[in-house]
Amino acid sequence: MIVGVPKETYPGERRVALTPAVVPMLAKAGLEVVLQAGAGESAGYPDAQYQEKGAKILPDRGAVFAQSDIVVQVLCHGANDKTGADDLPLMRRAQVLIGFLRPLGSPDSVQQVAKTGVSSYAVELMPRTTRAQSMDALSSMASIAGYKAVTTVADELPRIFPMMTTAAGTITPSRVLVIGAGVAGLQAIATSKRLGAVVSAYDVRPAVKEQIQSLGGRFVELPLETANAQDAGGYAKAQDEAFYARQRELLGNVIAESDAVITTAAVPGKKAPVLVTEAMVKRMPPGSVILDLAAERGGNCELTQAGERIQAHGVTILGPINLASGAPYHASQMYAKNLTTFLQNLIKDGKVRPPESDDIIRDTLLTQGGELVNARVRESLGLPALVAQQSS
């Protein structure tokens, strides 16, 4: 079987789905790799490196889709809402498509992908199990985004992060607050601490307290009822507006004492909760920075504008929407390893394994045979269960 890697077309996207190092691994699994010319250059992987590992370079995108049994991308149509639709005419029935598809946030795009007849697998639907950890691209990219969030804030902040004792006096360390202690938040805590900041963190899930403290952060405890704050998969659950209103009231004082705030709170498939209001921004010290990693889902800060850098009340508010692409070399390295492990599990004896044979395959399979087949996504979108799902 042939695995094809087209060049990413989302504006500013510098990652590539596979790196040269994984080509021999895929070859051992009986998979040949073809690559669109220049697909890896923006990430730091020239065509020659792929050729040295046994990959074949093709001149254009159409050739990659035409020759490939499996197409792997970083941002497929759905996750790529700018140019992703251009790939739809290139897809064919029974072809396999793997990548980020944003199934819970772009239902119309998912239906368009389904109509092409491809069997698509959405990496963001990877189950949170021990066996699936090595395939969890969402966590890999969140880790990169958490790191980049801190380095971006450090560049914007008119202060330095660490304490310094100099002949000109002592410089006090910056105070960083991280809201949300998922993968991105924990990486932001760890990176801020390594840079010498005084780090505090808040999460609605009390269970993450030990993780925050193990990274050197102070856990901000608020007197709120949080017994039902976490779902079975470990993600934060959406709360009612009364809960968020009380949370904002209590967080206000903590935010007012912070030089930088990094927000990462997101609920899968839902609009991000607003945790930082304009009134709270007004109370922050002049020159403070807010970086909102939930910008693409509406933002945790009331003033966030997705993809924009704005100034309000003396505070810089950043709303990046593709931060992982800012470290494309290592982001691609991690993503490629996730996809390679997934492919090694998906393909057996030169054939795609059926979804009923494996929970990872079942949970990530999004479209097949012209239908949106993922039970979780159908339920989220209010679609009736398929007949096969009802009988099972």
Which amino acids are annotated catalytic? 128, 133, 136, 139, 235
45 contact partners, CB below 8 Å, separation of at least 6: 16, 19, 20, 329, 332
What distance in Å separates the CA atoms of residue 188 and residue 209, rounded to the nearest whole number? Answer: 15
State residue 220 phi and psi, 5-degree precision.
-85, 115
DSSP one-letter code for 152: H
Beta-bridge mates of residue 171: 164
DSSP β-ladder status, 218-219 and 198-202: parallel
Q: What's the Rg (C-alpha) of the chain?
A: 22
What distance in Å separates the CA atoms of residue 316 and residue 92, rounded to the nearest whole number? Answer: 46
With residue 380 as reference, give the H or E element that holds it: helix 375-380
Q: How far separated are the first and last CA of the chain, in Å rounded? A: 31
